[in-house]
Amino acid sequence: MKCAVALLLAAPAIPLLFMGEEYGEPAPFHFFTSYLDPALTEGVRRGRRRELGRFGWDEAPSDPARAATFKVSRLHAPLADVSPHRELREYYRAWLALRREHPALGARAKEGTRAEWDATGAVLIVTRSAPSGARVRLIANLSAERRAWTPDPAWRLRLDSEDLRFAGDRGATPLAPWQVLLYDAGG
């Protein structure tokens, strides 16, 4: 999950965070309504079945007009303060703070983005540059195996998905499965 978060938040786009995603909300999100017009309610039911059927959805979708559909979709906000949800929330916070502060991150610095694979084809390296010369480099092990990685001393480690504060194992070398490192350099 932390690997996917890093790829989303390192991308040169505005991320969409949805309904408790930042702390790993386990509740499913079901589409729900509270229309007073019975014809509209029935039209929505039919439309949902038809729409989901186009995607090969075999089971009947939850009824958007039932109170139970709304109830199972409610957030469990207190989870955000309990491990491991708390550590995931802190990981999101660290990433979002970096996006706000670092000129090479965020949606404004789109021009200087380069992505490449290492020789194994398992480690993605994304470098982003700002017009000021500030740069970040994301190293993401996109495999379930440990991978060799030698840090470049010219780059400063800013974020490690395996950091203990994010419920990680703190094993940066070699790269742990699905581990992500974010470095920055000059500018």
Instruction: Map out the domains of the chain as residue ranges.
Output: 2-20+78-185, 38-74
181 three-class SS: strand
In contact, 183 and 139? CB cutoff 8 Å: yes
Which class for 78: exposed (0-12), middle (13-18), buried (19 or more C-beta within 10 A)? exposed
Instruction: Give the range among 142-146, 148-152, 162-166 with minimum mean pLDDT.
Output: 148-152
How far apart, in whole angstroms, are the C-alpha atoms of residue 126 and residue 180? 11
Angle CA 111–117–121, to nearest 5: 155
**Could you give the angle at the alpha carbon of 111 between the alpha carbons of 116 and 141, nearest 5°?**
25
CATH code given to domain 2-20+78-185:
2.60.40.1180
pLDDT-derived band at 3 (thresholds 50, 70, 90) equals very high
pTM for the predicted model, two decimal places: 0.87
For residue 186, name the pLDDT band (cuts at 50, 70, 90): low
Tens of pLDDT, residue by residue over 7-62, are 999 999 899 999 999 999 999 999 999 999 999 999 999 999 999 999 998 888 89
Other beta carbons less than 10 A from residue 180's beta carbon: 27
**pLDDT of 187 strictly over 80:** no
At 24 the pLDDT is 96
Q: Which tens digits make up the pLDDT trace of 48-106? A: 999 999 999 888 889 999 999 999 999 999 999 999 999 999 999 999 999 999 999 98
Q: With contact defined as beta carbons under 8 Å apart, do 180 and 161 qualify?
A: yes
Predicted confidence band at 173 (pLDDT cuts at 50, 70, 90)?
low
- Nearest one of 36, 37, 34, 28 to 67, comparing CA atoms: 34
Instruction: Specify the 3-state DSSP secondary structure of 53.
Output: helix
Of 22, 155, 126, 36, the residue nearest 84 (C-alpha) = 22
The angle at the Cα of 122, spanning 120 to 125, to the nearest 5 degrees, equals 100
Euclidean distance between CA atoms 112 and 116, whole angstroms: 13
